[in-house]
Each structure stands twice: as structure tokens, then as C-alpha cells.
Amino acid sequence: METPLTGNIHPGREPFQIADYMKAGGYRAMRKSLSTMSPADVISVITKSKLRGRGGAGFPTGVKWSVVPSKETSPGPRYLVVNADEMEPGTFKDRLLLEGDPHQLIEAIIIAAYAIQANIAYIFLRGEYHLAARYLQQAIGEAEAQGYLGRNIVHSEFDLSIHVHTSGGRYICGEETALLTALEGKRAIPRAKPPFPQISGLLGRPTVVNNVETLCNVPHIINNGVDWFTKLGIGDDGGTKIYGASGHVRRPGAWELPLGTPLREIIEIHAGGMRDGYELRSVLPGGASTSFLMPCDLDVAMNYASVEKLGSRLGTGAVIILDQKTCPVGMIHNLEHFFAQESCGWCTPCREGLPWVERLLSAIEAGEGETDDLMVLEQHVGLLGPGRTFCAHAPGAMAPLASGLKYFRADFEQHIHEKHCPWS
């Protein structure tokens, strides 16, 4: 099984410095792109590969790049921004790549920036990722000393500078337009779309925002070709995916596997199955803002379409396990507390609705809930759902609540009728 994204990463060892990275084939794709391909050629290859965003939305990467207007029709600066603000609860895949192989990301940024003709790139990094920041700054310095950043990279007449910007630490910064607003030094709130960032993004200029894992695929596609990439996946989606698992499994962690690997294989083989004394009750398949799946769903292929057919999302591929010894009401309350405090407050339904949901769940968990509370929670699922708020923050928060009310209603009712949490 090929693992292009994590092939250079070994636990307990510091990441490759530039000399070792180059010995392993690093920067070959960058030199190929800048020396033998036009920006349009690079975009064409990525489009044909059908690489989809690995940050949660799954939008086709080549299509996103192709929307950026040409230098002729829109002269002036344009930007590439790397979304490394990894704050989705249960998700740690980008941290693995940032700390394990930073030169892979630097090479990917150079290629992507060349494709959209951006001369400035920003890595918008989660503020708590101090080790990743140090490794990235070191890798950028090594690339500059090698002549791979700066002016006239590999005699291509292409210039690029990369800057690491550490986040102020708000979950909403993971939303691409809020990220751009924060990068401008303003309050992190989402923007109305259209216009999309590719047309009017950072400082009103054309901007592409890509996730870390998404970009790290780019050098390997350039090196090995479209057919190689498409055959890595299982089913219609090409490439690999870094899946994670947390909870009471024997080996929590992250693994690079073919995109479309069955959920059961991730949990039972790679994560080692449940710990002794614990039974799997349910899972969030793609991070905290996805809907619960049940044990009967474990044979689902972990790709975009298959998970959506079951009413959830692939999201970040971060599997969060709920076992029979953990209170589902308490788990959902914990998630909704996080989403409520992370609301940017820009739109009324999210600003007022999420704290209300959190207070009701807190009361139910404490044995102070009433039967009508469940009806109010269901109303909020609709009122805060897709199309009702300014961005996807509140609809994402409603995903675990809506599915939790569906699958664990008896647990909610038991809390209310018995006036206490049965797990406490």
C-alpha cells in the first residue's frame, strides 16, 4: 500500500531537513512544474486528477484554482492561503503532516502558487501548534537558502514568499472567509458569497484557500501522474486519506489509507478495535460536526458519496468513538458547549440559538430537564440548519444533535424522567 503523504514521517524522529528531503525525491515536482509546465498545465493535471479538498467540504481542487482570473484580466497581486487552523474536535491529521514533513507542504505551496500566479503565500496556523510553527519556519529558511523561495525560483522568473501567520485561536477561523478576515487583522467573521475568494479574497484580491492535506497531494500528482493518483483510491475518489480515530480504542491515532477504506477496517484493524470492557455504540465519522453513524453502518466506504448516503459527512475523516460506558447526552452537551462558545456572534440564529441549546442540554444532563425540552431542541435543529445561518458553523453544530436525538432519544428521556444522568 502506497503512502505518499506520510512516507517521510517516522514517529520519534524529527522531520527531514532539506538535504534529506531532496534525497527522498523532494522538490522534484516543483522543478518539473516551474521548468517544464505552464500554470495552465499544472491546473489541468490537478483538475484531471479529481483531487478533492481534504478539509471537510470536498470541493474539487483544480476547479477552485481554475476560477482565479488570469493576470491579463485581473492584473495585480493574488494570494495563496493555507488553512492550517485545525480546530475541529477530534481532528489531528494536519498536525501530523506539519510536524512530520514540513518541506512537503512548502513544495506543494510553491507549485500551487505558481499555478494561480500568486507571489505571496500565507500559512494560517493554529496558534497552539508551536512545534509545527518552528518546523515550518525552519523549512522556509532552508528553502530560501536553496533558492527555492524568493526571486526567480529555479530560473523560472517566478517569485514567491511564504509567511507563517499564527491564529488568534477561534474555531470560526477554519471557515475560509473568516480566516481571510482574521488574516487582515479584523474580527474573524465570515463573508457573504459571492463573490468567492478566488475573485475577491484577501485584501479584495483573488485568493485561493486550501487545506494542508489537500495541498500535500499536489507534488505527488505532478511526479506520478493522474492515473497513478486515481488508482490509489477505492471507488470513484482518487488518492489516499489520512483517517484518525479517538475514543476507547486500543490504538488511537492517524493512518494514511486509500480513500474509500471501510469504516470497519479503520476501527477494527488500524485502531485495534475497542479496548477490553468497551463496546462500540456509535461513531462520528468525520469530526465533531458530522452526524452519528451506528454499528450497522460500519461497512460504509469512507468516501464522500457513501457517507453522505447514510446522512452524515466524510468531513475530516476523524472518527470519534462513542462507547456504551459514555453518556451520549453528556457527549453531545460537551460538543454543543464548544460550538456555542466558538460562535462568532455575527448572525442572530447562531449567536442566540447555540447557547440556548447548550443550556437545555446542561439542564438535561444535570437532571433538571423537562419533556418539552426535547421539542425545543428539535425546533433548534431546524432553525439552525442549512440555509438558516450566515455560514456553516451552526448547521455543523446541529449534525451531532439531530442524529443524537434520533438514535439516543431513550437516553434523553431517561435523564428527564429519572432526574439524573444514569452514567454519573
- Whether the pLDDT of residue 1 is over 80: the answer is no
Average pLDDT score, the chain: 95
- Asked if 207 contacts 81 with a C-beta cutoff of 8 angstroms, the reply is yes
Number of domains in the chain: 3
Tell which of 278, 305, 323 closes a domain: 323
Burial per residue of 1-30, b for 16 or more beta-carbon CB atoms within 10 angstroms, e otherwise? eeebbbebbeeeeebbebeebbeeebbebb
Please list, residue by residue across 356-376, b when 16 or more beta carbons sit within 10 angstroms of its beta carbon and e when fewer do: bbbebbebbbeeebeeebbee
Say yes or no to pLDDT of 237 above 90: no
Cβ atoms of residues 289 and 59 within 8 Å: no
31 has pLDDT over 90: yes
Same domain for 47 and 160?
yes
Domain identity same for 261 and 353: no
**Is residue 49 domain-shared with residue 149, that is, in the same domain?**
yes
pLDDT at 170: 86
Q: Which residues contact 305 (CB under 8 A, 6 or more apart)?
A: 236, 237
Which has more confidence, 37 or 58? 37
How far apart are alpha carbons 266 and 186 in whole angstroms?
40
**Tens of pLDDT, residues 321-345:** 999 999 999 999 999 999 999 999 9
Residue 293 near residue 266, CB atoms below 8 Å: no
Query: Sign of torsion, CA 219 224 226 230?
Result: negative
pLDDT over 70 for what percent of the chain? 100
Is a pLDDT exceeding 90 seen at residue 57?
no
Same domain, 102 and 218: yes
Q: Do residues 291 and 386 touch, judged by C-beta distance below 8 A? A: no
Same structural domain for residues 24 and 147? yes
The CA distance from 282 to 258, in Å, is 23
Q: What percent of the chain has pLDDT over 90?
A: 92
Confidence tier at 298 by pLDDT (50, 70, 90) = very high
pLDDT band at 381 (very low <50, low <70, confident <90, very high): very high
Task: Say if residue 221 is in the same domain as residue 240.
Answer: no
- What does the pLDDT look like over 95-133, one tens digit per residue? 999 999 999 999 999 999 999 999 999 999 999 999 999
Q: Which helix (H) or strand (E) holds 63?
A: helix 61-66
Q: Examine the domain organization and report whether 36 and 171 are in the same domain.
A: yes
Do 69 and 213 have their domain in common?
Answer: yes
Q: Which of 300, 323, 346 is the last residue of a domain?
A: 323
Q: What is the pLDDT of residue 69?
A: 95
Task: Tell me, letter by letter, the H, E, C secondary structure of 140-202.
Answer: HHHHHHHCCCECCHHHCCCCEEEEEEECCCCHHHHCHHHHHHHHCCCCCCCCCCCCCCCCCCH
Which of 323, 348, 365 finishes a domain?
Answer: 323
Mean pLDDT across 22-28: 97
Q: Taking the CA atoms of the chain, what radius of gyration do you get in angstroms? A: 22
Question: What residue numbers bound the domain in which 363 lies?
Answer: 328-418
Residue 40: is its pLDDT beyond 90?
Answer: yes
Query: Is 392 inside any structural domain?
Result: yes
Helix or strand holding residue 35 (H, E): helix 28-36
pLDDT, tens only, 146-201:
999 999 999 999 999 999 999 887 899 989 999 999 999 999 999 988 999 999 99
Query: What is residue 235's predicted lDDT score, i.e. its pLDDT?
Result: 82
Read off the pLDDT band of 42 (50, 70, 90).
very high
Claim to verify: residue 172 and residue 286 sit in the same structural domain: no
Angstrom distances, CA of residue 328 to CA of 159, 194, 295, 365, 380: 52, 38, 15, 10, 19
Cis peptide before 195 (omega within 30 of 0): yes
Is residue 28 in a domain?
Answer: yes
Residue 149: the pLDDT is 98
Whole-number pLDDT of residue 168: 81
Collapsed DSSP state (helix, strand, coil) of residue 209: strand
Domain with residue 36: its CATH number is 3.40.50.11540
Give the predicted TM-score (pTM) of the model: 0.95
Asked if the structure places residue 292 within a domain, the reply is yes
Does position 72 have pLDDT exceeding 90, yes or no?
no
Read off the C-alpha cell for 105: 507542504
> What average pLDDT score do residues 333-361 get?
95
Residues in the chain: 424
